[in-house]
Chains A and B, each alone.
Chain A
Amino acid sequence: MSRNFAQLIRCSYCNFNKYIPRENNDPMMTECLQRETETLLQLSQVSCITSVFFGGGTPSLAHPSTIAAVLESVSRRAYLSDKAEVTLEVNPTPVGKSKLEDYCRAGVNRFSIGVQSLQDGDLKILGRDHSPHQALQTVEEARRLCPGRVSVDVMFGRPKQSAESWENELSELLRVCDDHVSLYQLTLERGTQLFKQVLGGEVTMPAEDVTAEMYQCARRTLHQHGFLQYEVSNFARHKAVSHHNTSYWKGRQYIGVGPGAHGRFVPRGEGGVVREARTQTLEPDVWIREVQQRGHGTRRRIQLSHLELLEEVLVMGMRMSKGINHKHWELFSPQLGLHEVFGTSNDIQELLQSGQLILDDRGLRCSWDGLALLDSILPALLVMLERQISQRLQRDHHADGQTKRISNPQ
C-alpha cells in the first residue's frame, strides 16, 4: 500500500505495469518510467495500445504530469487510440479527489476506486486513511468526470463482519456506485498487522461458511440490480467491463513497467518467438539505476513452455463466467482441442455430471455454482492438461523417430 503503485498499460496484444515510489514527483522517476516504457515497447514490437492501467498501491499520489508524460511516451512508440481505456486506481481520500479532474486532463478516462468498506470502524481496522463519507464523495466526483467508467472495489469477509451487515452495506453501495463493482474477499497475509491480531485472538475473522454466504449473497444482489458477473470477482452493467483486466484473463500479452511490475510478452525486438514471464526489479532505487544504465529494469525473464502457457490460459480463462471458447483455446493450442484434453478423464466427467463444469459446443466453463468452487476444479483440470500434453509430446517424439527411420533407407 505504501511502497509503490503499479501502472499498467495494455494494447490489443499487450499491456504493462509500473510501480512508482512515494517521492513520485521526482523528475528522475518520471524520466525512468518513460524510458522503460519506450524500451519495452520497442522490445515487444507492439504497434497498438488499447488500454493502460495505472495501479498497485496508491497511484493517485502520483502527479498528473507523470501520468501525462508516460502516456506521451506510449504514443511516441505505438498507436494509442483516443478510445483506449486508461484506468487509474484511486484511494478515496480528499487529496485524491481533488486531483481527479487533472488526471482526466492528463488522459485518464476510467477510475477504479478502493472504497473497501462503508463502515468507519472497519476502515480503521484495515488501516485505511479515508472515511466512508470521503469514499462516497470521491465516487460522486469520479462519476461526474467519467460517467459510466467508474469502478468501486469492496471487500468482504472483514473482521467481525456478518452476512446481514454485508447485505445492508452492499445495498447502500449500490445506491451510489456506477456500472462496475469488484468484490474482494479479505485474505489474511502472513506478516501483516491483521495476521498478528487474528493469531493473538484480538480480532476474529468470519468462518468459511459465512464468507461463502457473503459471496453468494453479493452475486444474487448484484444480479438483481442488473450487474452481470463476468469474472470471479468482477461485475458490470451496461457492458462496462474492464477491457484491461479482461485481456489478462484471455491470456493476451502485456508489458509491465515500473519497480516490481510483471509482464508477459514475446520480445520480438530481439528476435524472440516464445512468450516470457518478466519481472522488473522491485527496489525503486536499484530499478532507477538499471533503467538509467540499460534502458529497463528487467530482473527476471523466464521463457514459458507450451504447457506453462496453456496452464496460464486455462487458469485465467476459467475465471471468466464465459470460460474459454474453442476459438480462444485454439489460438494457443491449435493441435489439441478442449474436448480432446478434458473430455476423457473420470475426474472431469464427475465435475460435468455434478453440474459444476460445462463442456459443450461453446467451450469449457464453470456453472454458476461451479465458479464459486473454481480453486477445487482447477487442480483436476491442470493434472489432465499436463498428462495430455506430455502424452502428445511422447507420441510426436515417437512419430518423429519413425519418420526418420523411414526416410533413411540405409
Chain B
Amino acid sequence: HFHSVGIAILPELTSLYFDCHSNLPAFLLFAFKDTIDLSKFPVDRIRNFCIIAHIDHGKSTLADRLLEMTGAIATTDKNKQVLDKLQVERERGITVKAQTATLIYSHQGQQYLLNLIDTPGHVDFSYEVSRSISACQGVLLIVDANQGIQAQTVANFYLAFEAQLAIIPVINKIDLKNADPERVETQIEKVFDIPREECIRISAKLGTNVDKVLQAVVDRIPAPMASTDDPFKALVFDSNFDHYRGVVANIAVFGGRVKKGDRIVSAYLGKTYEVNELGLLRPHEHPTQKLFAGQVGYIIAGMKDVKEAQIGDTLYLQEQPVEALPGFKPAKAMVFAGMYPMDQSEYQGLRSAIERLTLNDSSVTVQRDSSMALGAGWRLGFLGLLHMEVFNQRLEQEYNASVIVTAPTVPYKAVLSSPKLIKEHGSEEITIVNPAQFPDRSVVSEYLEPMVLGTILSPDTYTGKIMTLCLNRRGIQKNMVYIDDQRVMMKYLFPLNEIVVDFYDLLKSLSSGYASFDYENAGYQAADLIKMNILLNGQPVEELITIVHRGRAYSTGKAMCERLKDSIPRQMFEVAVQASIGSKVIARETIKAYRKNVLAKCYGGDITRKMKLLKKQAEGKKKMRRIGNVEVPKDAFINVLKRKDK
C-alpha cells in the first residue's frame, strides 16, 4: 500500500502495529554524557547498514528498538518511529527523508559502531534508497510474518541485490495471531533465493530476538572497505538545510580522517570550505573532534545553499586531491501536476511555502505556470505519485497552505521531423510537460510515452480480475510466478499515464485490499498519442486540453464531459459539452437549459434576503470565466482538473 495515494494507506493504519505518535521523541530529552573517542573504532569494528521493508512491516519500530538497546535513546514505550520526524511520515507510516543514527554496540567484549541509515519506504523515493545504500555494506530486509512478501519488498530487495550488499532477512511481527513465519521463509527462499536458515524471526514490538539482529549485523555484514591511512575522501549522501547554520551534509567517510578546521573541497564545484562542525548522528547531531574512515556522520562547512552540497558529491582535503566517487544520477520527475492557490491573494504565501519545502527536497522540479481558469500557479514535477501526495500533505500541514492540485500528467516526448523545429528546440527529441504545447502530428515522426515495470503481489483468487484491470490499462504481462501455494507475483509493463490516476485504488478494491503494487521506471516507448480538446458550445477550452492515447480517447473524453456536465450550472440555453480530436467530436454531454428559475413569493419582509442572494449571484457572475456564451464557474475547472477525491 506504500503506493497508495491517500486513503489507501490510512485504513491500514487502523489495524496498525504502532498507533500513537503524539509524544515528543524521547531522544530530545536524553543527552549524551560521554564524549566519544572515535579513533577507538577502527574500520573493522564499523558496520554500515540500512533497513528496507514494505510499508507497515515494522521498519521504524525495529529502528526504535535498535536505538533503545544500544542506549542511543531511553527505553520507554513512548518511542514510536523516532526516526520519522515529519508529521506526514508518522501519519502515513512511511519514511520520506532518510535519517541516520549511529549506535554503539558491545559484542563479545568489543565495542562496535553501527551506522543505521534509515531509508524511505517507497520506490518513489528510490533515489533516497540508493543514496542510503551506497553508504552501506548490508541491509536488513524486513517481511511481515502475516502479510508475507509484498510488492515493495521485491523492489527493495533488487535495489540491495544490485548494489551487492549483504542481505539479512528479518521476519517481523511473529507475535501476531495469524503470523506464519514458515510460509514467509518459503517465499523468501523462492523469490530471493536466500536459504530459510538465514531468516531471523523477531517481534520488534515486544523486542523478541532483536539482539540476534544486532549480532547478525556484526557477523554477517562486512566492514567498510576504507583505510585511515588513505587521504580523506567522503561521499555526500544526503543534506539538510538549517536556517542558522547553513547546509548540514550527511557524509560517509571512505578514506582517511577529517577534523574541525580542515579545509575541504567539493569535487563537483571545486569550491573550498572550512569545516566548522562535525560529528555523529545519534540520531540527533552529536559533535565529535574527528571522523575516521568507515564512519558515517554529519559535517557543517559554511555551505550557504543546498545546491552546494550536491548529493553524490565527493569531499576531499584541499592539499590532498583524490579521484571523485561515482556519485548518483539525478532524480528525474515522472509525474507532473499543476498547483494553484485557492485564491490568488494567497499566491505569495504559497510561493514561499513551496520554496521552503523544495529547499529540503531538491527532487521536486518547479516551473511557473498560469491558467486562465485557475490563475497564476506552478507546474511541479515529482518522482512519483506518493511523492506528490506527500509533498501536498506537507504543504498543507507544515505550511498551512491550501492548494488546488490538478490531475497528474506524465512527461511525453516527441521526435521532431521538421528541420526548422529541430533547429528551434536545439534537439530532435523534446519533452512535453504542458499539454497546450503538444506539437502537431505533421511535424513529428513519433510520440513517446514513459513506461514503468509494475510488480503486483496478490492472493491467487484475484488473479483474473487483476489481469483484466491490467489489460484495460494497456498493460503487457512480462512474468507471473507463484511465490507460495496461494500467492502470485505478476510483472507488467505499463504506460505510466495509465497508473497515475486511480489504478492503485482499483487494484486495492478489487482485491479487498490484499494486492500490493510497486513500479520502477522503464524508459520510453512509441505511442499513438493525440491531443484532445474539450468544447463548450463549440468553443475550445484551453485549460482542458489533454494528451491521450488514441485507444483511451473516448473513455477519457467521456469522463471529462460528464464531470463538466455535473459542475457547470444550468444556463438559460442548452450547452453542449464535447470532447473532440481535430474536428471530430468523440463524446458529448448536454446541459439542459433552465426551464424555470425564479423564486416564487417575494413580498416586503423578504426583500433584504432576496437582494442578498441576488447580489451574491451578481458578484459570482463577475468572477465566472466566459467560454463563448457559456459562463463557467472556477469550481467547474477545479472539479475537472483536480484529482478525484478518494
Which A positions have Cβ atoms within 8 angstroms of B?
6, 8, 15, 17, 56, 182-185, 187, 208-209, 211-213, 215-216, 232-233, 245, 248, 254, 256, 260-264, 277, 279, 308, 311-312, 315-316, 319, 350-351, 354, 356, 371-380, 382-383, 386
Known: A233-B601, A350-B629, A383-B618. A212 touches B595 (CB 8 A): yes
Chain A residue at minimal CB-CB distance from B605: A262
Q: Which residues of B contact A351 (CB under 8 A)?
A: 572
Interface residue B271 (Cβ < 8 Å from any Cβ of A): no
- Chain A residue nearest in CB terms to B596: A212
User: Closest chain A residue to B613 by CB distance?
Assistant: A375
Within 8 A of A (CB), among B607-638: 607-608, 610-611, 614-615, 617-618, 620-622, 629
- Does the CB pair B604–A262 fall under 8 Å? yes
Report whether B604 and A185 are in contact in the complex, using a CB–CB cutoff of 8 Å: no
CA of A374 to CA of B573 in the docked complex: distance in angstroms? 14
Cα A386 to Cα B573 with chains together (Å) = 25
Q: List 14 A-B contacts (CB under 8 A).
A: A17-B605, A208-B596, A212-B595, A215-B596, A232-B599, A233-B602, A262-B605, A277-B608, A279-B608, A315-B607, A315-B610, A315-B611, A356-B572, A380-B618
> A85 CA to B598 CA in the complex, in Å?
28
Is the beta-carbon distance between B621 and A184 smaller than 8 angstroms?
Answer: no
Q: A319-B602, A372-B596 are in contact. List 20 more A-B contacts (CB 8 A).
A: A17-B604, A208-B595, A211-B596, A213-B595, A216-B595, A232-B598, A245-B603, A256-B604, A256-B605, A261-B605, A262-B607, A263-B604, A311-B615, A315-B614, A375-B617, A376-B572, A378-B617, A380-B618, A382-B614, A383-B618
User: A8, A182, A185, A376 — which one has the most chain B CB atoms within 10 A of its CB?
Assistant: A376
| A232-B621 CB under 8 A given contacts A312-B611, A350-B629 | no
**Contact: A312 with B595, CB < 8 Å?**
no
CA distance A254 to B605 in the complex (A): 10
Contact of A372 with B611 in the complex, beta carbons under 8 Å: no
Q: Please indicate the chain B residues that have their CB under 8 angstroms from the CB of A315 in the complex.
A: 607, 610-611, 614
Q: Of A17, A245, A262, which one neighbours B608 at CB under 8 angstroms?
A: A262
Question: Could you tell me the distance in whole angstroms from the C-beta of B605 to the nearest C-beta in chain A?
Answer: 4
Instruction: Tell me the bound Cα distance from A393 to B569 in angstroms.
Output: 34
Known contacts A245-B603, A379-B617, A383-B618; A372 and B608 CB within 8 A of each other = no
* Pair A372/B595 contact, Cβ less than 8 Å: yes
| Contacting residues, chain A, for B601 (C-beta < 8 A) | 182, 184, 233
Known: A376-B572, A379-B617, A383-B622. A254 touches B604 (CB 8 A): yes
Q: Determine the chain A residues whose CB is within 8 A of the CB of B629 once the complex forms.
A: 350
* Cβ-defined contact, A373 with B596, below 8 A: yes
With most chain B CB atoms within 10 A of its CB, the pick from A56, A233, A375 is: A375
- Minimum CB–CB distance from A189 to chain B (whole Å) comes to 11
Contact of B618 among A261, A374, A386 (CB under 8 A): A386
* Among candidates B571, B598, B599, B604, residue contacting A248 with C-beta atoms closer than 8 Å: B604
A245 to B603, CA, bound (A): 7
Lowest 9 A-B CB distances belong to which pairs? A212-B595, A212-B596, A382-B618, A233-B600, A374-B598, A379-B618, A379-B617, A262-B605, A372-B596
Considering the complex, give the chain B residue whose CB is closest to the CB of A380: B621
Query: For the complex, is B597 an interface residue (Cβ under 8 Å from A)?
Result: yes
> B598 → chain A, closest Cβ, in Å?
4
Bound together, the chains give a CA A212 to CA B594 distance in angstroms of 9
Fill in one digit per residue for B573-602: 1 if any A CB lies within 8 Å of its CB, else 0. 100000000000000000010111111111
For this complex, into which size category does the number of interface residues on chain B fall? Answer: 20 to 34
How far, in whole Å, are A6 and B606 apart by their CA atoms in the complex? 12
For A16, give the chain B residue with the smallest CB separation: B604
Closest to A214 in B: B596
In the complex, what distance in Å separates the CA atom of A15 from the CA atom of B603?
Answer: 12
Within the complex, the shortest CB–CB distance from B597 to chain A, in Å, comes to 5
Q: Name, among B592, B600, B610, the residue most crowded by chain A CB atoms within 10 Å (CB to CB).
A: B600
A319-B602 Cα distance, complex, nearest whole Å: 9
Q: In the assembled complex, which residues on chain B have CB atoms less than 8 Å from the CB atom of A254?
A: 604
- B257 CB to closest chain A CB (Å) equals 73
| Contacting pair B599 A375 (CB below 8 A) | yes
Question: Which of B595, B596, B599, B604 is within 8 Å of A264, CB to CB?
Answer: B604
**With A212-B595, A376-B572 known to touch, is A184 a contact of B617 (CB < 8 Å)?**
no
Q: How far is the CB of A375 from chain B (nearest CB, A)?
A: 5
Are the CB atoms of B614 and A378 closer together than 8 Å?
Answer: yes
B596 touches A216 (CB 8 A): yes
Check B600 against A374 for contact (C-beta < 8 Å). Answer: no
**A376 CA / B573 CA spacing, docked (Å):** 11
Q: Which residue of B lies closest to A8 (CB)?
A: B604
Are B595 and A354 neighbours in the complex by a CB distance under 8 Å?
no
Set of chain A residues within 8 Å of B605, measured between Cβ atoms: 6, 17, 56, 256, 260-262
Q: Across the interface, name the chain B residue whose C-beta is closest to A350.
A: B629
A383, B610: Cβ atoms closer than 8 Å? no
Residues of B within 8 A of A261 (CB): 605
Best-buried of B602, B608, B622 by chain A (most CB within 10 Å): B602
B573 CB contacts on chain A under 8 angstroms: 354
CA distance in complex: A6, B573 (Å):
40
In the assembled complex, which residues on chain A have CB atoms less than 8 Å from the CB atom of B603? 245, 248
User: Are B621 and A312 closer than 8 Å at their CB atoms?
Assistant: no
Chain A min CB distance to B39 (Å)? 74
Contact of B598 among A245, A373, A382 (CB under 8 A): A373
> Cβ of B620: which chain A residues have Cβ within 8 Å of it?
379
Q: Are B602 and A232 in contact (CB under 8 A)?
A: yes
Given A383-B621, A383-B622, does the pair A375, B602 have CB atoms closer than 8 Å? Answer: no
Q: CA A256 – CA B607 in complex, angstroms?
A: 13
Contact among B604, B608, B614 for A375, CB-based, below 8 A? B614
Residues 266-303 of B, flagged 1 when their CB comes within 8 A of A and 0 if not, give 00000000000000000000000000000000000000
Contact between A373 and B572, CB atoms less than 8 A apart: yes
**Structural contact, B608 and A187, CB atoms closer than 8 A:** no
Residues in A with CB closer than 8 Å to B610 are 315
- Checking B600, B611, B618 against A185 with a beta-carbon cut-off of 8 angstroms, the contacting residue is B600
Chain B residues with CB under 8 Å of A212's CB are 594-596
Q: Which of A245, A316, A373 is B597 in contact with, Cβ under 8 Å?
A: A373
Within the complex, the shortest CB–CB distance from A209 to chain B, in Å, comes to 6
B572, A379: Cβ atoms closer than 8 Å = no
Q: In the complex, what residues of B have CB within 8 A of residue A211's CB?
A: 596
Known: A316-B602, A383-B621. A374 touches B597 (CB 8 A): yes
Report Cα–Cα, A374/B594, bound state, in Å: 11
| A376 near B594: Cβ-Cβ < 8 Å | yes
For the complex, give the distance between the alpha carbons of A263 and B604 in Å.
Answer: 7
Give complex CA distance A311, B621 in Å.
Answer: 16
- A-facing mask of B381-425, CB < 8 A → 1, else 0? 000000000000000000000000000000000000000000000
Instruction: Provide the bound-state CA to CA distance between A378 and B611, in Å.
Output: 10
Complex Cα spacing A319 to B606, Å = 13
C-alpha spacing A15/B607, complex, angstroms: 14
CA gap between A184 and B621 in the complex, in Å? 27
Residues of the B chain whose Cβ atoms lie less than 8 Å from the Cβ of A375: 597-599, 614, 617
**Beta-carbon nearest neighbor of A366 in chain B:** B598
